[in-house]
Amino acid sequence: MRIYAISDLHLPGGDDKPMDVFGKHWQGHYEQIKQFWRENITENDHVLHCGDFCWAMHLQNAIPELNEFAQLPGKKYLIRGNHDLWWSSLAKMRPVVDESITFIQNSSVVINDDEKQHSVIVCGTRGWSVPGSSDYTQHDEKIYAREVNRLKLSLDSVKTILKDCKYDSRELIVMLHYPPIPMYGAAFENDTDMNRTLREYGVNKVVFGHIHRPQQVNSIKFERDNIKYYLTSCDMVQNYPVTIY
């Protein structure tokens, strides 16, 4: 059993939204992802998608691509990105997708690895631009504070599913859409309420997306305070889902 992560597929969602207008590296990106997926990922594996799945404005327009996504091997876990305007309540989304897709929204799930006798707990939320990021302004303060609280809600939800862990050997993975720290320049070393929360709750790994410009990041994979961080925007990882477990 393996766990992979990828994000920011930015599929059309029924709209004329070709991604190659943002550069040649987007040409045929989903076909590349699907080819790698089918050749390397099995039904026993799990894939975390960290937001910005498609451009659809309404859930009904996202369903065809969610159905196609569901046909790929393995279990899939989705969180909301800033462009996922189709995202609705869990009560509305769950009935219209295949059971191989799980939506994570201030919630958590357990993945038990019987071969390694190890339990992996996954939780997540969207996040927001953090203080020190180039795009952060005073107008972001309220939304950011709310998202910090939502992260805490997600992490608190872990207590309710510990009974589903088959093994005492465990790790905790958090899915975010936005990076929890500034990703570029001297601010890269700054602490935020986001990463302080991750540290306080004993998180082991964090996967996130949102960023699409190499010049905006110091590193796409790094370790800090004993937490491993992975940037998984598909265009930043050459359209290969990243192995995180």
> Taking the model in full, what pTM does it have?
0.94
pLDDT (tens digit per residue) in 126-161: 999 999 988 899 999 999 999 999 999 999 999 999
Write down the pLDDT at residue 49. 99
CATH number of the CATH domain containing 197: 3.60.21.10
- Burial track 86-99 (b if 16+ CB lie within 10 A, e otherwise): bbbeeeebeeebee
Q: Which residues contact 139 (CB under 8 A, 6 or more apart)?
A: none
pLDDT along the chain (245 residues), means of 10: 98 75 76 97 98 96 96 98 96 96 96 98 97 91 97 96 97 98 84 97 98 82 96 95 98
Write down the pLDDT at residue 212. 85
**Residue 56 belongs to what domain range?**
3-243
Number of separate domains in the chain: 1
Q: Residue 234 and residue 29: Cα distance in Å, rounded?
A: 8
Write down the pLDDT at residue 21. 56
